[in-house]
Structure 1
Amino acid sequence: MDIAGSTALVTGANRGIGRRFVEQLLERGAVKVYASARRPESIDIRDPRVVPLHLDLLDEESIAQAAASAPDVTLLVNNAGIATGADLMTSDLDLVRQDLETHLFGTLRVIRAFAPALAANGGGAIVNILSVLSWVATAEGSGSYSVAKAAEWNMTNAVRVELADQKTLVQGVHLGAADTDMMAGRDAPKIDPTNVAQATLDGVQKDAIEVLVDAPSHYVKTALSADPTHLYPTPQTN
């Protein structure tokens, strides 16, 4: 798929990785970018090709209205998300449900709403921003997020199969940590969010169904086929 001449929609476009996607799409020649967010007034990119749009992953009506307002979309970037910081053993289960409702069901709602437009416009592409935590769990208060991203990852695979007949590319993007507001306070190496947008769009142009952005994503993907003790500590016994 060629980015030049495309019409894109980016969720969570007001900051972080989403904002970098908007900038990179414009730089690569997109003719229009719907920059969506729960608060579209917070989108401050001044370019006549940018169309701010209200879209909330937890609000089906807002998703339907966004799809009706953007029937010309050929590239959908599902970037919006949350991180409740909940762990599975002690946190309120409502927080776990919130992570799943956002990353799995919210993203799926957006895909279902825009898939007909993509089909009508020749197939196009869907990008889902996932995580290295789709494949591995850590002990840093990310258990709920990891479960939600694992579900979103295999949803991405299933949607790819279901949309193959309409010639829609469905791409999953994995990364460790990017230097965004969501990751503020996390003591971990972080990459520039611009690198995520660049690597993803490079992958779209090559029709890649999977993009591994950084060293952690490459390491974990390789480690999945090895002994899992490479990823998880062995319980200590007396």
Structure 2
Amino acid sequence: MELKNAVAVVTGANRGLGRELAAQLLRNGAKVYAAARRPESVDLDGAVPLRLDVTDAESIRAAALIASDATLLVNNAGISTGTPLIAGTPEAVRLEMETNFFGPLAVTRAFAPVIEGNGGGAVLNVLSVLSWWHPAGSGAYAAAKAAAWAQSNAIREELAPRGITVSALHVGLMNTDMAAGIPADKADPADVATQVLDGIANGLPEILADETTRNVKQSLATTPAAA
């Protein structure tokens, strides 16, 4: 996909990776709708702030009407509550699924006909190394991202005849607010965003942004260790 003159909708564009993706898209010559639950929190010169809450069906419908020229959707908005599947509250588990699985699906369903009507384009789903590695302490997040990986694979096949490619980013810890409290080496969101945009431009189905993620992906054929 040619990014120059693309029209991108980036969810969660007010901070972290979403903000960096929006900024780099602008530098590449794209028009960018910077979507956030609070559009007043968007501080990117040249971007069009757009109210969009991925858990609010009405805000999704309204955003699709406003961004009616979109050719690229970046499903970046998400949460991580650190909720285990057994000990965690059902409400927290459901919140992870609503935000990280059903939210991106609802946004994609709303924007797929828009992108198709504008001649085709692309969707990017921001996932995680935890799509494939499932630590107990983050069981809800990992389950939601694993489901979002399956979603990405299924809609890739479904949307291909409509001229829409689907890419999935898998990445470990990044130096963002979401990972601020975790003491570990973290990727630079600017470096990850550059890899993402290269992957979209080249129609890659999966973008593996760091060595940890690549190693975990390669280990999928092994038997899980016993507890």
Residue 188 of structure 1: which of 179, 184, 188 is its match? Answer: 184
**Residues 1:128 and 2:125 are matched in the alignment:** yes
**Residues 1:77 and 2:74 are matched in the alignment:** yes
Q: CA deviation at 1:187?
A: 2.0
| Larger Rg belongs to | 1
| Aligned residue number for residue 43 of structure 2 | 44
Structure 1 unaligned segments of length 5 or more: list them: none
Write the mapping of 1:19-34 to structure 2, written as runs, cut at 5 A.
19-30=19-30, 32-34=31-33
Write the mapping of 1:122-201 to structure 2, written as runs, cut at 5 A.
122-139=119-136, 141-201=137-197
Letter of the 2:162 partner, please give it.
Answer: Q
Query: What is the CA–CA distance in structure 1 between the aligned matches of 2:114 and 2:88, rounded to whole Å?
Result: 39
| Aligned residue number for residue 16 of structure 1 | 16
**Residues 1:209 and 2:208 are matched in the alignment:** no
Query: What is the CA–CA distance in structure 2 between the aligned matches of 1:147 and 1:189, rounded to whole Å?
Result: 24
**Residues 1:5 and 2:5 are matched in the alignment:** yes
TM-score of the superposed pair, with normalisation by structure 1: 0.93
How many residues align? The count is 227
Query: What is the CA–CA distance in structure 1 between the aligned matches of 2:44 and 2:125, rounded to whole Å?
Result: 22
| Aligned residue number for residue 54 of structure 1 | 51
TM-score of the superposed pair, with normalisation by structure 2: 0.98
Query: What is the CA–CA distance in structure 2 between the aligned matches of 1:97 and 1:189, rounded to whole Å?
Result: 30
Task: Give the 4+ runs in structure 1 shifted more than 3 A.
Answer: none
| Aligned residue number for residue 105 of structure 1 | 102
Alpha carbon RMSD of aligned pairs, Å? 0.9
| Aligned residue number for residue 225 of structure 1 | 221
**Cα shift readout 1:11-69 (whole Å, capped 9, x = no counterpart):** 00000000000111011111x1000000000001122xx10000001100000000000
**Cα shift readout 1:59-88 (whole Å, capped 9, x = no counterpart):** 000000000001100110000001111111
Query: What is the CA–CA distance in structure 1 between the aligned matches of 2:6 and 2:171, rounded to whole Å?
Result: 25
Query: What is the CA–CA distance in structure 1 between the aligned matches of 2:40 and 2:127, rounded to whole Å?
Result: 26
Q: CA deviation at 1:122?
A: 1.5
Matched position secondary structure for 1:224: helix
Query: What is the CA–CA distance in structure 2 between the aligned matches of 1:223 and 1:74, rounded to whole Å?
Result: 35
**Cα shift readout 1:86-112 (whole Å, capped 9, x = no counterpart):** 111211111000000111111100000
